[in-house]
Amino acid sequence: MVLGFYCDLLSQPCRAVYIFLKMNKIPFEVKSVSLLRGDNHNKDFRKVSPIGRLPVIEDGGFILTECVAILKYLAVKYNVPDHWYPRTDLKAQARIDEYMNYQHLNTRTNMAMLFQNLWLLPMMLNRPIDRKKVDRYSNNVGVVIHQIDEYFLKDNRPFIAGDNISLADLLGLCEMMQLYACCQEKFIESNPKVNAWAERVKLKLAPYFDEANVEVNITRDKFMKSAATQPKL
């Protein structure tokens, strides 16, 4: 039975799993769940995952949530090239795990919250931007970019775990695209090391990176139009 992939490409971890599946030519069937429509709260989806969040995979009746667990499972099950999640180089594997543990409360939380406070919540709830929150998350995003530069890319490593792309780089860049969606890519572009890393990761993920980010570009266009109508963003 073909692998079922419950996803919405508006979601960063869904984009990461989608790109990984495509890059590794793993056959899958998309089961579209619209987050904007609230499909993830439907009874049918709750039967698949009572947690109600994306992404989810279903492999012959085996349901798995959480993008990190999903990516590791797929990497092992489909025996993908070792650089994604090395099996024998324990230190490289640990470096990838280290970033993936760091990412949730650092890269993901702060970039997602900046996006939500600058765009999603004001737009959906028709309310003004909460400047204090935007300032707080902007500040945190600056700290995260600095930490990625100083620690995860130290010694001028081209990628987080060394010389080749891994799950850590894939997840990291997919989360950072939330900055691009709300025109805050200055945080990446103003850091030469992180910017060069982001460009390297995009090249490695071509052509699926662009394919997965179509919705991000649409969101960015909408954000730019709305920003043009506001006195100060």
Binding site for ligand GSH (CB under 6 A): 11-13, 35, 40, 52-55, 66-67
In the complex, least distance from residue 198 CB atom to ligand GSH, rounded to whole angstroms: 20
- Looking at beta carbons only, is 115 or 209 nearer to ligand GSH? 115
Please provide the DSSP assignment of the chain as one string. Answer: -PEEEEE-TTSHHHHHHHHHHHHTT--EEEEE--TTTTGGGSHHHHHH-TT--S-EEEETTEEEESHHHHHHHHHHHTT--GGGS-SS-HHHHHHHHHHHHHHIIIIIHHHHHHHIIIIIHHHHHT----HHHHHHHHHHHHHHHHHIIIIITGGG-SBTTBSS--HHHHHHHHHHHHHHHTT-THHHHTSHHHHHHHHHHHHHHTTHHHHHTHHHHHHHHHHHHHHHTSS--
- Looking at beta carbons only, is 41 or 154 nearer to ligand GSH? 41
In the complex, least distance from residue 38 CB atom to ligand GSH, rounded to whole angstroms: 8
- Looking at beta carbons only, is 71 or 141 nearer to ligand GSH? 71
- Looking at beta carbons only, is 54 or 198 nearer to ligand GSH? 54
In the complex, least distance from residue 172 CB atom to ligand GSH, rounded to whole angstroms: 13
In the complex, least distance from residue 177 CB atom to ligand GSH, rounded to whole angstroms: 12
- Looking at beta carbons only, is 67 or 191 nearer to ligand GSH? 67
In the complex, least distance from residue 69 CB atom to ligand GSH, rounded to whole angstroms: 8
